[in-house]
Structure formats: structure tokens, C-alpha cells
Structure 1
Amino acid sequence: MKWMEQELETLAAESLERSLREGVPLQGSPGCIRQGEQAKLNLSSNDYLGLAGHPAIAETIRRELLREGTGSGASRLVTGNASAYTRLEEELASWQQSESALVFANGYMANTGVIRALAGRSDVVFSDQLNHASIVDGIVLSRAEHARYRHNDMSHLRSLLYKYRDRPRKLIVTDAVFSMDGDCAPLRELAELKQEYGAMLMVDEAHSGGIYGTQGEGLCHKLGIKDCVDIHMGTFSKSFGVYGAYICGSRTLIRWLVNHARPLIYSTALPPALVAGISTALHLVQAEHERRERLWDSVKLFRSLLDSAGFSIGSGDSPIVPLLVGDNAKALRFSNALATQGIAAVAIRPPTVPAGTARIRFSLSASHTVKELAEAAGVIRRTGLETGVLRA
């Protein structure tokens, strides 16, 4: 086991070691978190619509816990497929205007399970180089050839599609909103290339579901290309404020996944009470439009304040705002300094992001007030100057 200590020492020396820290929501202060004895504005959560503490979701789960118990007891293909699953999947299919839907335990399992079920040794998967790790791992598990194209570079993707045009199965997979950069994939162009080369298209809407579209359906719906997407994936752990993931698509796709997606087949099902809570969250996502309006107002304000302060925040317009620092140690110092000033903003370092691009990744929520964000931007600017991240 000595090698572990040596490797950890190397990580620490390069400011790359990670550690766990406790944090609990601050009662009565949405958008805030308590870490130790200090209350902080939580600018690192993916709770985009502020639903994680919604009383209606909590009440649904409480009621169903008393009726259904705490666990499902088996995988969905054994005895764990409670009636709450059927209701939720019907609601998801209706919401996404798709033929069918399938719920997974989480987004990581959905991506790894689906990609492995759709591609094999003789196939090729085309993947944006900034796609989430779960997509990358799904491709590795599939043993298909991994053709990575430069971030959002459709000319590069086209050249790869032409190179592998004779492969029996071709799958293009992309994040809709990239989790560490906050920019969007060129989904219309991807849909055109998919049709031109006879490929399947899978879109991960983990960070766009709930916030784009008239009822939070996602970026594919907003752009009007949802019918071009063969595999529509989303999660319940972000905008929905709960836990889990879903796949929407054709009835044939869902039948195939029930028989071939190993994480679904060989994992215990989510507790029925949690699944019922997701249904309540889905209703709130569709009905409470003002949450999306508040969020987008906050996004415009916060991005404008950081940009005018002179920070490099990337080109996106989503609730994910990456403040680029570059150096690992400096990013950690900046994050720790913000923490002492009452702002929870985590430093993101390699291998999560490419070497030399360490950053503070801010995530905004409908729970944040204009006053909180304006004050936070002032603190961030001042701390940036004090730590040398921002030059006067």
C-alpha cells in the first residue's frame, strides 16, 4: 500500500489532492450552506431551480416512505419495479413528447449503461473532448472505437464521420451544456451531421433539463430539434432537486435498454418514495415558470458583474460560470479565501478540466437573490485582487 502514500504526496505537492468536507443546507436561507460553524452563500450547487428543499417534494417522500418503506428490495427486473416507476415514466414520456422513458438510479449509470448497450467492438462513438466523465467511461466500457472531436468543432467531427463512414453503428454523443465550461453544444449542426452520416445521436441534458424550454424540457426542445435526437438523457439531481436519471426515446430503444443496460439490470431499484418525490418535482419544474425567469435574470446579472470586473469567465450563457485561473495552487488559494469571506465556491482542477485551466466554477440558483449575488460579486472582485487572480 506504500505506493498510495507516494502518489497522494505527489498529488498534494501539485495542489491536486481532493478531500471531503461536510456541508448542510442552511435552514431558512435558500441558496446558503453551513460548513463547520460558518454559513456561506452556496455558489457551487447544481440546484438550479432551488427545488432541493421544496416542501411539496419532501412531503411526498415522507408520505410514501410511511406507505412503501425505505427500500425497493431488488432490481427493477426482479421485484423492485414499483407502480411509482410506471407513473413517472409515463409522465416523462409525455413531458418530452417521446414514445417511452426509462428511469435509472443516477446519471453516471445511465450514460455508462446506455452507451455500452448501443455500441460494441466493431462500432465507433464520436464524443466531444469536453464531455462528462460518465460518457467517456461508457465508451471505454463499450469497447467501441472512441473518436474524440475537438470541443464544438463540427468540421473536425465531419472529418471523423467521413473517416468511419463504413462502420456498422455510429453514435454521436454530447453534453447539451458542458458542466465545467457552461457553454452549449451546437445541437442543430449535430442533428444535421447525424442525419447526413446515418448515425445515432445521444444528448445529455443533465445541466440543461429543467431550465431550457417552455416547461423545462431542455435545450433540444428549445432549439426545435428534439425529433432528431435518438437518445435523450437527463438527471433529477440538478434542476429537479432530487436524485436519479432518465432516458427518453422510442419504444424500441427502451425495450432494448431494459434487456441490455447492465446498470439497470444489475442494480437495486431506487426506493419507491424517492421515485414518487421525483414525480412531484417534475410537476413543479413544468408549472413554476417564475423559477426559470428568476434564474435567467440572476445569470445575466452575475455574468455581467464578473465580466465588468475583468475576470475571464468563458463564452457561455448558462447558470454555470467558470472563472478561469489557470494555476492549481492559485485556484485553491482563491477558493479558500472566498470561503473565509462566506462564499462556497470550489476550485476545479485536473483531471476534471485540462491541465493549465484550473478554475472556480460558480453555479447559480433561482434561490439566490439579486442582493446576494451583487454582494458576492464584490467579494469575488476584492478577493481576486488580493490573491493575484485579478490584476488592478
Structure 2
Amino acid sequence: MSISSGETVIIGAGSTGTSIAYSMIRSGMKVNLVDMNGVASGNTGKSSGLVRSHYSNETVARMAKFSHEVLSNFSEIGYSGYTKTGMVYAFPEADIQSEKMNVEMLKRIGVEIGEIGSDRLKSFYDPINMENFDYITFEPESGYADPVATSNSFASRAMELGATININKKAKRIKKDENGTRVYFSDGTERVYDRVVMATNIWTNKLLRDSGVDESDLLPINASRHNVIYLRRPHLYAGPKPVLWDMAQLSYYKMEGDTITAVGSLDPELDKIQTDSEEEIFDEASEEFMEKYLGNISRRLPYMENAEYISTVSGRYDMTPDGEPIIDELFHLGLGDVYVCAGLSGHGFKLSPAIGNIVSDMIQGKKSRDCMFDWEIFNRKRFRDGRLIGRNHEDIGTLY
């Protein structure tokens, strides 16, 4: 008969699972990290890797600020590939008041951010079409990092500190029994653990369903497809430049290195379009998507109409109704000592250090009021009780 190993198993080795593993092992717990493929082999590998503190919910902004500090000072853990570029947030008139309130909150918690004028913006991008850029803010310390390198560094450092990692090991079912929490794997093995952490992204409900959870009790997490278009920008826009968030066109333009530009969507309507989490998707966008977002960047930065197309990357967000994660124990589903950390809604990588900290504290039995972050707002009951997490920018996807 299997007996408990005293370990916590973390299912899923993306940026979330690897950060949790690192935080837990640093706290002296025994950790086994498993993944059905490999480290950062899922949606983490499709992330554009933006790192910023600009959020409009204070708890999430504090998490983002902490995570930014970790990712930009990562040498003790490994290599994050962090590159400071700054980020420009350009808003139309309708969003001025909400962004002013947001900037006040961000400054209060210690984020360096402020209003800039059109001349400063033109010093970054020239020529640029300023239409509907009625209020512009700038976060100079933000930038981007490498999600795959970061996840592998978290995993490697966790192993150095005593964690075990098993790749190509798929968890098929979870069951509570008298010895602990039993996990059944696709290779025919099974093992009893003290605790289970599901960092399982869009595959969370499938694992719960296969573990006997009723359909009515599944978590409100849906898969939503998101595309990023990669271009080689013309010489006129070459060199290091800040990321540009174009709120009027619900688009962002990540200036990577000296010549690469990534174009993505901020349209919350795309978040609502559900896809099958089990369906294989390919790195290609629809003709409609390509036409719209290539048109957006060309209207904003006119010479980008001469950019060279490189590729398209297609990944999926694990979306919740309020665009914020679910971090909670699942005892109400008959799965005590099983914790879920999913529904990251496109924010997972940039919040991963804070999420690792939260889950580690939660599993140690600490009270959120005594810890760095109030994780109680991320509980599953908020959807049942109609207490969705609020923010200033409701109508701009991923800028929650």
C-alpha cells in the first residue's frame, strides 16, 4: 500500500508551477514538480513576456510590482532575460479619469509612473500618429523577459535546493483516500502525497472532471485563443524602444531588441471567445485578425506598413469571468489538501514570482492578513457570491 511521502506535488511546470516549486522548496517543504511534457512547454512558451507594474487593482498591482523586482534582479535564481525598455500607455479621452486615478494608486504603492507629453512620445517614435492619444503615461522601469528561461531557472534552482522534477509525466486523476491524496499518472504509476497543487492552466477542468468532480462544480475557467504577430520593423524605427499600449485601437506593440516588433490584442471581446482546451492549435492567425492588427500598427506608426512579416504565435489564456486567477483549496469539492492556481487570464508570467509566494504561504497555513498579499480575493466563492474582483480599466483586455 502506498503511504504519504510528505511531499507536495505540483502539477504543471509553466511559469506558475515552477515559481511555486521554487518558493515552496525555499520554505523547507518537500516538492515534486511534474509536467505532461516539459518545463514551459505549454502556454508559458507562447507568452510575449511583458513585465510591468501597471495594473488597476491594487492587490494585483502590488503583486506585479513585487514580481517585476524579482524578474529584474534574478541573478541569484538564474537567468530571466529581463530587458528594461519602459512602457508607454496612451489613452483616449474617455479613459483619462480612470487612468489618472490609476496613476495615483500606483504611485502610492511605489511604482515609478507619470504623465508625459507628445514631444516625449515622439522622441521614442517618429513618425507617429497621435490621434486619440489624449492622455499618455510612462512606466520607465518596465520591460520584458524570457518566460522559458525564467521557468527553467526556477525549476533548476528548485532542484538544486532539493526538489524533484519529472517531465513527460501526465497526471490523469486525483483521489482522496485514508493515506493522503493519491495521484494517478498516465504511465500507470500512482503515488500518495500530502498535498497537490494544480498549476494546470487551461487543462484544470479536464483533470477535475476526470477526478470525478461534477460538471456543475467545475471552475469558471475557459480557454481563449490569443495571437501575437512578429514583424521586423524598418530602419526608421530601429533600436531600443518602449512597449507602446495603444488603448484607442486596443492593441499593444512590443519593441523587442533592435528590430523585432510583436503586435498583440487588448480587445476584451477576444477573451470571451471560448476554444476547446484539448484541441491542437497551430501558430497561425485568421486573415481577419492579421488585417486588423497590422492595420492598427500601420495607422499608428506609419512606416510599419513596410515591416517584414516573420511569424505568428498562437497560445491560449485560461480566462475567468473577472480576468483574475483562482487560488484556493478545493475541499468543497471533496479534495481537501488539493490547491488550484489557475485562471491566470494572460497575467501568469508577469505575476509568477508573487503567485509562488502566495501559494507557498497558503500551504504553510499562514493567514493572508499576515502575509505580503491578500490572496483571499482570489477564492473560488467570489463567482458564486457575485463579488468579482474590480479594477479601474474594465474595457481594456489584459490591462486589468
Question: Shorter-chain-normalised TM-score: which range?
Answer: under 0.3
Compare the two structures and name the one with the higher helix fraction. 1
